[in-house]
Structure formats: C-alpha cells, structure tokens
Amino acid sequence: MTYDSEDVEQILQKALTRKDKGEFSREQLLEMASELGISSNILETTEQKWLAQQEEEHSRHTFNTFRRRAFWSNFVSFLAVNLFLILLNLITSPSYFWAIFPVLGWGLGLFFHWWSVYQSKSEDYEIAFQKWRTQI
C-alpha cells in the first residue's frame, strides 16, 4: 500500500492527536503491563472489573437522567394544573381561596418526589436502581 503526502499528513496528525489525548491500543496496554511485571491474567481481570465499573456508571447516569426527566415532567404538570386552579378559584369565588388545598397536597407529593430523585446515596435509591436495571 502506498500513501501520498496528504494521507501521511492526516495519519500522522490523527496519531499525534491520539497521543496527546493519552489513547493507547490494547497491545500497548499489554506491553506496558508486561514491562511493569503485571501478568496478562491479572491485567485481564482488572480490565474486566474496570469495564464493569464503567458500565455501572453509565447505567446509573442513564437512570438518574430518566428519574430527573420524570420529576421535571411532574413539576411542569403541577405548575400548569395549579395555575389553572388558582385562576379558576379567583374567577369563581375570590372570597374563599380553596385552590390552596390542591397546591399544598400536590406540592407535598412533589417535594417527596424531588427528595427521592435527588438523593442518590440511600437504600431506596439502590432498590429503585436495581429494579429499573432488571426492567431494561
């Protein structure tokens, strides 16, 4: 195979970019481990654990995004419905503010929803994550 000067320049530029980013091939990783006296079995086991950890982090990020979107959807519904109820209350019976009851009730539920979504260090979070993980 032959390369013209433009191809060589592009290949070398990409190689330099990868080097600057710190990207290495699997072969380079094995070579470095060998130079450090790390057996290929230990490297393989460690690599598998690392890949599992990366997958776990990605799953948790996806789960958190899913839960936050559900919360914000609920929040938008809360605002829309309760603004409508307040306007209806002000138009139909301005002397008695009955719209406060659905606002407070739904608001309390919304607060607990927010609390469960943004608390990611609890046992309930782990249970919800494991349940979500088995469903996907």
| pTM, rounded to two decimals | 0.66
| Residue range 9-30, pLDDT digits in tens | 777 677 767 666 777 777 877 8
| Residue range 32-45, pLDDT digits in tens | 778 778 888 887 88
Q: What 3-state DSSP class applies to 1?
A: coil
What is the rounded distance in angstroms from the CA atom of residue 45 to the CA atom of residue 51?
Answer: 10
Tell me if 129 sits within 8 A of 57, measured CB to CB: no
